[in-house]
Structure 1
Amino acid sequence: MKNLTELKGTKVMLVLASSLPMLMSANVQAQDHSSYDKNGWYVGANIGKSKASIDTERLQTSLETNGFDVSSMDEDSGNQGYKVYLGYQFGTYLAVEGGYFDLNDFSFLANTLPVTDFRGETGLKGWNLDLVGTLPLTERFSAIARIGLTQNDSKTRYSSNGLINTAAYNHDDSYTKHKLGVGLQYDISPAFTVRLEAERYRMDDLIGNKGDLDLYSLGLVYRFGSTTQSEPQAAPAPAQKAQAAVVAQTVVKEPEVLVLEDVHFNFDTAELNDETKVILRQHVQTLKANPQARVRIAGYTSASGSAEYNQALSERRAQSIKAFLIAEGVDANRFKTIGFGQRNPAEYEANPSVLRSDAAKANMRGLFEIIVE
């Protein structure tokens, strides 16, 4: 039976490992053309090595007290275990997970004189509810720690050649315990995360002692969300400046759309910095050279913070750009403003809590689009 269990567990591990390259490839390609908005819910599965602590010293003492000479105790305390779970992520640092686990069977054999063939076996499975904390280390790497409650279901069975009456000791139990765990996780894409974990489950062992059962596992997590197409991005700055200079010298007669160089903001502010003002003054010349142009200014933010706060900040950034252009002499009636908040990012932010990452800086921007007729 154990060999069959190990074979099944090995197959699951191979399927999990072989699927990672395909999932990484598919999601990296999707990320090139779209953004992935996670809604907080996720599912996952882990499989690995489980190991129990068996109190063989107390077992040996009990047998010797009853007149048996114990020469040795053989343990089979390692097996394969797995868990499946559903979770919800509350922001960056906290999640709740509920799931099912099966840590498999463990046994011992007592070698005695006279020979008794005294054996014991127990298994552990059940349900858990965990509180999971996350500490970002880089944009993609995080450390995790968990504490939770388990509802354990165990079945303990003894056997011998008849010299020991074992029937009275067989029992099935259902009881509540707690568990602890630590681990590392890596975001291989916006939707998929790989986890490496070590967990300790508390249990009652074969003779009623308080024991431990450890699970060392590798897991894959899928985070639910929706994919939205990103807006076309501006061309490189030097080409845009050259295009703006040409437009400034020549009045365009045919309708066309010009996307000028985007401008960037500092973290959590709608104030224009000196670098942004220099770029906007260059765009003012283009607008004055094209008095029929209609202008739409779009504001954006990084992924840090709530969606409501980021929406308001993006709108203030668009208004700040508009106010500056009006102050530079461009007619106010030519403008429309819009805020997109953290939607349609220029770059994917794997860890929004890293406030000043390169991806976050790229997303704290204002896009400046003019339609010339």
Structure 2
Amino acid sequence: MMKTNKITQAIGTAIGTLTLFGLALPAVASQKIESGWYLGVGGGSSQATIARADIIADLLESGYTTTEFNSDTKDFGFKIYGGYQFNRHISIEGGYFDLGEFSYTATTIPAGTSFGELEFDGWNLDVVAMLPLTEKSSLFVRIGAHSSKASVDFVGTGAVNVLNPRFQKTSTDYKFGFGYQYEMTERVTFRIEAERYRMDDAVGNHGDLDLFSVNLIYRFGTRSRPEATPAPAPRAVVAAPVQPAATTQYCGVLEIQFEIANDDIQRINREHVLVLATFLDKYPETKVEIEGHTDNVGTRADNLRLSQQRAENAVDYLVREHGIDRDRLSATGYGESRPVADNSTEAGKQANRRINAVIDCATDIEGLTPLPARITLAMELEFDTNSSVVDPKYHDQLGTVAEYLRRHPELTATLEGHTDNANADRAQRVSQERAQSVANYLVTHFGIDRSRLTAEGFGATRRDTYNITASGRQENRRVTIILDYPK
């Protein structure tokens, strides 16, 4: 009866918790979770290792020969726990567990029986390490410690005499486990796992208790932007020369940001570099120091190398595309040592992935005819995982792009497709399909001449953000539309 009541109570607790989960879902299912607190409940089969040989030896030492030995080594176990997830790979969990009751019955000569029953429950604290398999699924391992109470009751019948019928002991020992989890929604995660608890059974024997459980987790974590956000408007970047601070000087500065682990000068930045080249052509005595910078992801040595490569690529571009004398240009990489924003946020990391051009000031600006400010229109469209279907929320914005192209027939457009961290072959194929899908949409719905559109796939080589969160991976699944101006 005791065992039945415990199982009923545990199931009732689980059902009550799941009901709360269900009530919470409609309000939060569309949010992205990056880190934070969570609650979990799990239950399943628990199994004990009964020290059969030790028990038989103890009875024999007391003058009893065991003729039959039966044991009940399985029961229902459950746990209720809370945790904090630091990122997609590491979390810490603690909670209460009850692994149930286990018993044995030994029949002896002289005629009698020895009956023993073990109960085991306590508290645990674990570190959980996760290995993502897909955007929603992960393998995980755990290791930790538990403080638990073992209660053992003995009953003797017939010739078997029990002097001490009850023992209790509280001890601390280790535990470990492994499992698989799947994110059913942004708030609810399903888990299956196996755990082993090392135990002291209160009468001097050591053994193991195993729990094989099914779990549900509800997350309270930090919310990022909603999944169904309004479509972003096209972004306009104006590239223009820096205005003189006074009539006697004309100074230039340049700042260009980079995608993750990338050192190329992208199309969207070439207008800015063109303005810089115009300034250098006018003032052949001026010199430029190109400074390269990174965020703080990766080793310092790798970041220093990457920042130097970014600066050198900018120098090479000015020499190759605009004929600037290399002797007037210098490149210095500073790695992650000079951040301009907080590296704890994705926006801050992106701001720190940059080059700066520090340019000598020139006197006498008379006669300088800089290029007029020109607009490079860049619109980003996000996609679902492995999908190349254009979301209807972007249709109006694509109509705006098409109208702009119609009004300016001299312009062409490049459509760059990108993915998150899929395998290389699939990433290249999906990114190309996404770019081509947007091109097809502009042709079929707005009558844009296909010869004015170029679709290119870049796979996962040009990331805007890191692929460690669902929102970050979403931002990397995109097509960027860049309007190209004739030279």
TM over 0.5: yes
- Distance in structure 2 (CA, Å) of the matches to 1:23 and 1:52: 37
The structure with the largest alpha-carbon Rg is: 2
- Distance in structure 2 (CA, Å) of the matches to 1:210 and 1:221: 32
**Structure 1 counterpart of 2:347, which letter?**
Q
Give the fraction of aligned pairs with identical amino acids, expressed as a percent. 30
Q: Counterpart in 2 of 1:175?
A: 171
Q: Counterpart in 2 of 1:77?
A: 73
**Structure 2 counterpart of 1:2, which letter?**
K
Q: Counterpart in 1 of 2:4?
A: 3
Q: Is the 8 A contact 1:138 1:354 kept in 2?
A: no
Select 2:348's aligned residue among 292, 309, 312: 312
Select 2:474's aligned residue among 355, 359, 363: 359
Q: Secondary structure at the match of 2:7?
A: helix
Q: Counterpart in 2 of 1:58?
A: 54
Taking CA–CA contacts closer than 8 Å with sequence separation of 6 or more, which of the two structures ends up with the larger relative contact order? 1
- Distance in structure 1 (CA, Å) of the matches to 2:480 and 2:185: 24
1:106-255 counterparts in 2 under 5 A? Answer: 106-161=102-157, 163-168=159-164, 170-205=166-201, 207-225=203-221, 227=223, 228-229=225-226, 231-234=229-232
Q: Is the 8 A contact 1:110 1:119 kept in 2?
A: yes
Distance 1:2 1:30, change over 3 A: closer
- Distance in structure 2 (CA, Å) of the matches to 1:208 and 1:199: 23
- Distance in structure 1 (CA, Å) of the matches to 2:86 and 2:480: 27
Aligned CA RMSD, in angstroms, stands at: 4.4
Q: Is the 8 A contact 2:88 2:469 kept in 1?
A: no
Select 2:266's aligned residue among 270, 273, 277: 273
- Distance in structure 1 (CA, Å) of the matches to 2:112 and 2:147: 34
**Structure 1 counterpart of 2:5, which letter?**
L
Q: Is the 8 A contact 1:158 1:167 kept in 2?
A: no
Distance 1:58 1:308, change over 3 A: closer
CA-to-aligned-CA distance 1:191-222 (integer Å, 9 cap, x gap): 21111110000112364211000000011111
Q: Is the 8 A contact 1:267 1:356 kept in 2?
A: no
Q: Secondary structure at the match of 2:477?
A: helix
Distance 1:353 1:164, change over 3 A: same
Structure 1 gap ranges (5+)? 241-264, 281-303, 321-326, 336-344, 369-373
Q: Is the 8 A contact 2:197 2:209 kept in 1?
A: yes
- Distance in structure 2 (CA, Å) of the matches to 1:37 and 1:10: 28
- Distance in structure 2 (CA, Å) of the matches to 1:203 and 1:353: 37
More strand by share: 1
TM-score normalised by L of structure 2: 0.51
Using the TM superposition, give the Cα deviation of residue 69 of structure 1 relative to its aligned residue in structure 2, in angstroms. 3.2
Q: Counterpart in 1 of 2:96?
A: 100
Distance 1:206 1:226, change over 3 A: closer
**Structure 2 counterpart of 1:330, which letter?**
A
- Distance in structure 1 (CA, Å) of the matches to 2:110 and 2:87: 63
Q: Is the 8 A contact 2:188 2:218 kept in 1?
A: yes
CA-to-aligned-CA distance 1:86-126 (integer Å, 9 cap, x gap): 11122222211111111111110112233323100111111
CA-to-aligned-CA distance 1:291-314 (integer Å, 9 cap, x gap): xxxxxxxxxxxxx99863422245
Using the TM superposition, give the Cα deviation of residue 13 of structure 1 relative to its aligned residue in structure 2, in angstroms. 6.1
Q: Is the 8 A contact 1:48 1:218 kept in 2?
A: yes
Q: Is the 8 A contact 1:81 1:101 kept in 2?
A: yes
**Structure 2 counterpart of 1:232, which letter?**
P
- Distance in structure 2 (CA, Å) of the matches to 1:123 and 1:195: 26
**Structure 2 counterpart of 1:184, which letter?**
Y
Using the TM superposition, give the Cα deviation of residue 360 of structure 1 relative to its aligned residue in structure 2, in angstroms. 4.0
